[in-house]
Amino acid sequence: MQPTLDLMSPETRANPYPLYAELRRTGIRQVEPGGLWAVSRYEDVAAVMKDPRRFSSEGLARGFLPPWIDRNPTAQSLVVKDPPAHTRLRGRVARAFGPAALNILEPKIRAIANELTHDLLRQAEAEVDFVEAFSLRLPVRVLGLLFGLEADPYPRLKGWADDLVSIPAGQHPPEEQARIRQSLVDMERCFEDIIEARRASPGDDLVSELIRPADDGSVLTHEELISFLFSLLPAGVETTVYLLANTMYVLSEHPEERARVLADPRLIPRLIEEVLRYEPPAHSSLRLATEETEVGGVRIPSGATVVVLLASALRDERQYPQADRFDLTRGGQSHMVFGHGVHYCLGAMLARLEARLGLEALFPRLRDFSLAPGPIAWSRSLIARGPLALPLRLFPA
């Protein structure tokens, strides 16, 4: 009998990669929490992600709507729908994340990154929490642009995003359940206010664009608007927060690579791709097996919930030589971290853009930086992983 493996144990959340390696060695099997069927090898992950007929995104819907939650619009959003409903909704919102829209956003994001860098370096050589001071503030400000809000919108955005992505993690004590339910209520009230304000006074922001009729005259329903904003919040905040923080964490552990990038910021795009592979912000996704099927030589029963371990696939030795080595010379893009197939993340280009502009503002003004002594507390989520705080010492150029 195989020993029980728990994806949410404190040891695994602190360092999940040994468990991922064991899963790749032993193949597909059930794990905690909840007897999930874990798919960990690159080839198997790709097969599941590109087969929405047999592996439905309804698995995500189940994860976001446990019995102790009555309503969670995320469970009706684009990310948990399969074609054809997914195709219609994705086509409606895709333009807002395309190259033309990002070209308009780029100078605004660059200005925010320069402002945050200026504020950050005023604390140079003193210990500073990089998450609170930079990697959180940048995506929250960008999300404010997308929502058409003021410069520092709703300080609770990150807390709401944390609560939302923590829902599929398994057991929550009663006090956490109550807080998460209240967060869902507060989020919906906030988004309804934003939608009402944009209907009354449209602007050039994402919400105004989504309210306008499409070229064929179709419009998104109120429920579709709310559900999309619910899914956008963690995607727009958590991904970039952890991508930036993970980058600084990884470089603090690799001094030679850190020196190379600080000396030559042209390496930043390559750095981002290797961080996305080596220490990605997104670790897993959930799928529902719609029929009994075989993957990787293992029969998965109909109705099973499958956890697709994206971060494990990106450390698969069969796909990446010396996969556990952080290596800026690899080249290429780590597409798997943003999903695969029809559910490839719409915001992937935006996340890369925010990370690049943030690091391009910061690195030319740094001579070096180091991680302050002490343990790192990592996020408690099955889906996303990054440090809750990252104490750094910064040394200006």
Quick one: pLDDT at residue 84?
A: 62
Q: Round to whole Å and give the CA distance between 137 and 155.
A: 9
- Which residue, among 233, 246, 243, has the nearest Cα to 354 in the 3D structure? 243
Q: pLDDT exceeding 70 applies to what percent of the chain?
A: 88
**How far apart are alpha carbons 67 and 34 in whole angstroms?**
14
- CA-based diameter of the chain, in Å? 63
What per-residue confidence (pLDDT) applies to 349?
A: 82
pLDDT at 335: 64
Look at residue 346 in the predicted model and tell me its pLDDT.
61
3 falls within a domain: no
- Whether 1 is in a domain gets the answer no
Range of the domain at 320: 10-396
CB proximity list for 55: less than 8 A, separation 6 or greater? 48, 49, 287, 288, 289, 290, 306
Mean of the per-residue pLDDT values of the chain: 86
Residue 311 near residue 275, CB atoms below 8 Å? no
For residue 90, pLDDT over 80 is answered with no
What integer pLDDT is reported at residue 114 of this predicted model?
Answer: 97
Specify if 205 maps to a domain. Answer: yes
Asked, for residue 2, whether it belongs to a domain, the answer is no
Tokens in use for 267? 């390496």
Quick one: which of 232, 249, 71, 49 has its CA closest to 167? 71
pLDDT digits (tens, 9 = 90+) for 24-78: 999 999 999 889 999 999 999 999 988 888 998 876 677 788 889 989 888 777 6
Q: What is the pLDDT of residue 116?
A: 95
Asked whether the beta carbons of 56 and 325 are under 8 A apart, the reply is no
**Which CATH number is 93's domain given?**
1.10.630.10
- Check pLDDT > 80 for residue 306: yes
Cβ pair 40, 28 in contact under 8 A:
yes
> Is residue 5 in a domain?
no
Q: Model confidence over 106-130: pLDDT tens digits?
A: 999 999 999 999 999 988 777 899 9
Per-residue pLDDT band at 258 (split at 50, 70, 90)? very high
Residue 4: inside a domain, yes or no?
A: no
CB 7 within 8 A of CB 286: no
Residue 83 above 80 pLDDT? no
DSSP secondary structure letters along 28-73: SEEEBTTTEEEE-SHHHHHHHHT-TTTEETHHHHHHH--TT-S--G
**Helix, strand or coil, per DSSP, at residue 393:** strand
In a domain, 42, yes or no: yes
5, pLDDT greater than 80: yes
CB atoms under 10 Å from CB of 299, counted, come to 10
Cβ atoms of 138 and 244 within 8 Å: the answer is yes
Span 148-204, pLDDT tens digits: 766 555 567 778 888 887 887 667 889 989 999 999 999 899 889 889 998 998 888
Residue 140: inside a domain: yes
Residues with Cβ within 8 Å of 160's Cβ and at least 6 positions away in sequence, in order, are 183, 186, 187, 233
What is the average per-residue pLDDT within 247-274? 96
What total number of domains does the chain contain? 1
